[in-house]
Chain A
Amino acid sequence: NAGVTQTPKFRVLKTGQSMTLLCAQDMNHEYMYWYRQDPGMGLRLIHYSVGEGTTAKGEVPDGYNVSRLKKQNFLLGLESAAPSQTSVYFCASSPRTSGANTGELFFGEGSRLTVL
């Protein structure tokens, strides 16, 4: 009963290093999302994907890239990490709904990233 799985759970980077966060879901959901959570800011959408091979920018996309080569996976990349990217990152997925948009998101457990 995995649901949404994120790896790694924790990572410390130095400024300028690159890394990739992996999100995998086993619910056959069409939509996947990457959020970041910062104190006093709530959850902000970085990028999202409405299907395999498609991605789009969210509210705070700068400094991040994403790819969705397979339906079940959504990767978030930091090409040159900056201290401002220190945050907790959440992946989420949701099913395609016909007509009604129920909006329930299924979240991973989060990945805590520190950039020194």
Chain B
Amino acid sequence: AQKVTQAQTEISVVEKEDVTLDCVYETRDTTYYLFWYKQPPSGELVFLIRRNSFDEQNEISGRYSWNFQKSTSSFNFTITASQVVDSAVYFCALNPYSGGYQKVTFGIGTKLQVIP
């Protein structure tokens, strides 16, 4: 069985602060994909990033960065210099490398509020 834990249910930061969203996962699969999705107040789910278990390189995209550490089964997401538009619920998700149907397991989400 696989599991994704997002221990932070809600976080509030003041605009321009940095914030890290934690994600810890459990899986028996040796190969898998990890994802982050963003759900802004409008409600849609937006794909942010995919990382496969072979690639532990950190990734940076603008103000967003992701730190994947297989040794601690973590895939944390950092927003640098947060903005009000970053206010959203962020979901971490795990998918086994099994081909075909995507058996994705989602965390419960972290609600981020950026205060102006």
Task: Give A contacts to B, CB under 8 Å.
Answer: 31, 33, 40-45, 48, 50, 88, 90, 92, 94, 96-110
Contacts and interface: CB of A to CB of B under 8 A. Distances in A.
A101 B91 contact: no
A107 B52 CA distance: 21
A49 B33 CA distance: 21
B70 interface: no
Contacts of A41: 108
Given A42-B108, A110-B44, A103 B95 contact: yes
Nearest to A103: B95
A107 B100 CA distance: 18
Contacts of B91: 42-43
Interface in B9-57: 9, 33, 35, 37, 42-45, 47, 50, 52
B101 A100 contact: no
B32 to A, nearest CB: 9
Contact of A105 (B43, B99, B102): B102
B6 to A, nearest CB: 8
B43 A102 contact: no
B75 interface: no
Contacts of B109: 42
A97 to B, nearest CB: 7
Contact of B100 (A43, A50, A92, A110): A50
